[in-house]
Amino acid sequence: MKLNIALLAGDGIGPEVIDQAVKVSDAIAKKFNHEISWHPALTGAAAIDAVGDPYPEETHEICANSDAVLFGAIGHPRFDNDPSAKVRPEQGLLKMRKKLGLFANVRPTFTFPSLIDKSPLKKERIEGTDLVFLRELTGGIYFGKKGRENGGDVAYDHCVYSREEVQRLAKKGFEMAMSRGKKLCCVDKANVLETSRLWRETVQDMEKDYPEVEVSYEFVDAVAMRLVQWPNSYDVLITENLFGDILTDEASVISGSMGLMPSASVGSEVSLFEPIHGSYPQAAGKNIANPLATVLSAAMMFETGFGLYEEGAAIRAVVNKSLSEGVVTEDLADGGKSYGTSEVGDWLAENI
């Protein structure tokens, strides 16, 4: 298969972890006879510095014309501490999601048997956890009208959803539940928010089309609690943008390290694959960042992006091997022998 992949390394540790995913993908391409053309493009603070725009038109063209986008991370402390900054790296990510129509963010949480003791949660609570969040990604409070009034002393961010936006996300949730454990949890705050009542009503209307799926409706605050109490009771969870942002960070600790969890953002056209961690600027350039979340994002790219399941499975297998043999970065080394970001990447590629 000929694969054109847009490569957006972004900021902080982005370029380092992306390099390892490229090594691994190239090794897979060689083994399974595919031909990958990588198309690097600028995003985030790197793009602001180069052309003054965190998601330049040229980058958009490259992404829109590719078979998939592999993305590192976005964000720079220079902007975090400056609330008055007019252009921010994160705007690039939001613009990219909107312009590429990436309305569903698929964020799995699973445990690795060899890492079960790394989780801050008790082993018996998390064993067998295999859940996936479908976070709505192009609506809600992130994209509603925002502004200031009263000379700047009052600020607002509107949360808006249409029935159609909820339906298309929920449809993916029902389909995913059908292909997995047939359980769907609609996470909302329908006791308070009107948008949540629209979510609940819409999902309730769709239940009849998926009679095999057991649907539950839970308030977001209760889910925040249950997620760490009984994570293995969940299968597929659907939720709006901001709730999903918060809960997926929470869920990522279940696996033991945020450096492990991949994600996919899908819509009607091209899909994007990225680690759920951020740009981790403190570690940038030090060759210490864990590349596995990005490598596993590449596995998701082969599987859900290209339908190449054997290739994805080969990546997962080699990642599991690196974990059980202790070829890991310092976040997973428990003070023992650790490897650099690029050494882990080299090892994975060689072992493919």
The residues that touch Mn ion, with contacts defined as CB under 5 A, are 245
Is 142 designated active site? yes
Instruction: Tell me how far, at minimum, the Cβ of 276 lies from Mn ion, in Å.
Output: 7
311 makes contact, choosing from ligand IPM, Mn ion, none, with CB < 5 to 8 Å by partner type, with none
Instruction: Tell me how far, at minimum, the Cβ of 137 lies from ligand IPM, in Å.
Output: 7
Nearer to ligand IPM, 255 or 322 (CB): 255
The site that binds ligand IPM (CB under 6 A) totals a number of residues, namely 5
Is 26 designated active site? no
Catalytic residue among 23, 118, 172, 189: 189
Instruction: Tell me how far, at minimum, the Cβ of 208 lies from Mn ion, in Å.
Output: 34
Q: Is 26 in the site for ligand IPM (CB under 6 A)?
A: no
93 makes contact, choosing from Mn ion, ligand IPM, none, with CB < 5 to 8 Å by partner type, with ligand IPM
* Residue 68 CA neighbour count, 13 Å, CB half: 24
Binders of ligand IPM among residues 76 to 135 (CB under 6 A) are 90, 93
- β-partners of residue 263 are 274
Instruction: Tell me how far, at minimum, the Cβ of 31 lies from Mn ion, in Å.
Output: 34
For 334: left if phi > 0, alpha if psi spans -120 to 50, otherwise beta; the answer is left
Catalytic residue among 245, 280, 331, 339: 245
Is 321 designated active site? no
305 makes contact, choosing from ligand IPM, Mn ion, none, with CB < 5 to 8 Å by partner type, with none
Instruction: Tell me how far, at minimum, the Cβ of 246 lies from Mn ion, in Å.
Output: 8
First vs last C-alpha separation in the chain = 18
Q: Is 75 in the site for ligand IPM (CB under 6 A)?
A: yes
CB count within 10 Å of CB 49 equals: 14
Catalytic residue among 80, 82, 221, 334: 221
CA 227 to chain centre: 18
Is 249 designated active site? yes
Binders of ligand IPM among residues 265 to 324 (CB under 6 A) are none
26 makes contact, choosing from Mn ion, ligand IPM, none, with CB < 5 to 8 Å by partner type, with none
90 makes contact, choosing from ligand IPM, Mn ion, none, with CB < 5 to 8 Å by partner type, with ligand IPM
Nearer to Mn ion, 72 or 312 (CB): 72
Binders of ligand IPM among residues 240 to 259 (CB under 6 A) are 245
Nearer to Mn ion, 25 or 138 (CB): 138
Instruction: Tell me how far, at minimum, the Cβ of 163 lies from Mn ion, in Å.
Output: 26
Return d(Cα 99, Cα 352) in angstroms, integer: 35
Question: What separation in angstroms does the CA of 227 have from each of 113, 173, 194, 336?
Answer: 19, 18, 24, 30
Could you list the active site residues? 142, 189, 221, 245, 249
Residues within the interface to ligand IPM (CB under 6 A): 74-75, 90, 93, 245
